[in-house]
Amino acid sequence: MVKRFGKYLLHECVAQGGITEIWMATDEYENVVAVRKLRGRGLSASGPKLFKAGLKVHQKLSPHPNIIRFIEHGKTNGTPFMVLQYIEGADLKALLSRRHDMIDNVADVLVQMADGLNYLHDRGWIHLDYKPENIMISLNGHVSLIDFDTAQKMPRKPKKYPKISGTPSYMPPEQLKGEALDQRTDIYAWGSTAYELLTQLRPFGGRTPEESRRNQLDEKYRIKPVHQLNPQVPVALSQLIGNCLAPQPDARYPNMTVLNARLHNILGVQHQPVTAHSLALAS
């Protein structure tokens, strides 16, 4: 059932969880947009603060092809909301759960994933919740990074932040242990996401989440190289992902600029912003 929300008509709730609901909506000119608004019930005390923090990042970022486009924000009947580009497609978590065979197109996806994160870092922010669920892929294969509620200003040196919720499988040891963080935290998360994209497996095996967590924290644990699980992956790309997943931050790439240049070189892709690709990843 269509509901009015200020000047927008809400047609369908396409995602909910955490602190927000996301609705497919139309504006007064019948343009299709996404309205992301705070949930009315079951909202934690930190919810409004996180929403406001994410909004601040959106407002600071200028447009980029691999960052979801921000349109405006406001408050209706006391409920804060932001209006974003509507992406017809699915997040990478959903695509992985359907076991899509993306190997023919994975280079495009990896490059766009890196370009979006590189841009965010270049603008002085670290994401701190980088994972497949926060990577949207449109029906034509275009990648957009979303959800900046936990993003923080990039520190000059590693810095401790207040406890940040996240998904443990994509969090490096220093984040799991509540230690100081910097841009290399996101590099680890990018590597974990890339590993899963290429292998359909998470890098740290385990029969239970607790066992996987122990493996992540064990510096002697050795993940199986990507190219051994997927022979179509070049050894150089496998090594790049392995470097991203090093347990010690100093053993990872120092920043996304270096990683991104290396990735483009391995894949034979010119290092420039990517706009759109003719992929069809969603069913």
**219-268 pLDDT per residue, tens:** 888 899 999 999 999 999 999 999 999 999 999 999 999 999 999 999 98
Cβ contact 90:137 at 8 Å: yes
Question: Is 273 within a domain?
Answer: no
In this predicted model, what pLDDT tens digit does every residue of 195-216 receive, in sequence order? 999 999 999 987 788 888 898 9
In this predicted model, what pLDDT tens digit does every residue of 31-74 receive, in sequence order? 999 999 998 765 667 888 999 999 999 999 999 999 999 999 99
Cβ contact 142:112 at 8 Å: yes
In this predicted model, what pLDDT tens digit does every residue of 115-151 receive, in sequence order? 999 999 999 999 999 999 999 999 888 999 999 999 9
35 and 153 share a domain?
Answer: no
Give the integer Cα–Cα distance in Å for 24 and 44.
Answer: 24
Q: What pLDDT is stored for residue 278 in this prediction?
A: 26
Question: Is 231 within a domain?
Answer: yes
Give the integer Cα–Cα distance in Å for 16 and 230.
Answer: 34
117 and 240 share a domain?
Answer: yes
Token look-up 């929403």 returns 51
Give the integer Cα–Cα distance in Å for 193 and 170.
Answer: 7
Token look-up 């069809």 returns 280
206 and 104 share a domain?
Answer: yes
Q: Tally the C-alpha atoms within 13 A of residue 105's C-alpha that lie toward its C-beta.
A: 19
Question: Is 279 within a domain?
Answer: no
Q: Could you tell me the pLDDT band of residue 163, with boundaries at 50, 70 and 90?
A: confident
Question: Is 113 within a domain?
Answer: yes
Q: What pLDDT is stored for residue 219 in this prediction?
A: 87
Q: What pLDDT is stored for residue 212 in this prediction?
A: 87
Domain range for 169:
91-267
Record the tokens describing residue 240, joined without a space. 């790049």
Give the integer Cα–Cα distance in Å for 23 and 255.
Answer: 35
Q: What pLDDT is stored for residue 180 in this prediction?
A: 96
Neighbours of 223 (CB within 10 A): 19
Give the integer Cα–Cα distance in Å for 71 and 222.
Answer: 44
Q: Domain total for the chain?
A: 2
The CATH number that applies at residue 55 is 3.30.200.20
Q: What pLDDT is stored for residue 276 in this prediction?
A: 29
Record the tokens describing residue 160, joined without a space. 């401790």
Q: What pLDDT is stored for residue 203 in this prediction?
A: 94
54 and 120 share a domain?
Answer: no
Question: Which residue type occupies 118?
Answer: N
Give the integer Cα–Cα distance in Å for 8 and 31.
Answer: 10
The CATH number that applies at residue 120 is 1.10.510.10
From residue 4, give the alpha-carbon distance in Å to each of 1, 25, 28, 32, 78: 10, 9, 11, 14, 14
Give the integer Cα–Cα distance in Å for 119 and 114.
Answer: 8
25 and 99 share a domain?
Answer: no
Give the integer Cα–Cα distance in Å for 205 and 215.
Answer: 7
Q: What pLDDT is stored for residue 128 in this prediction?
A: 96
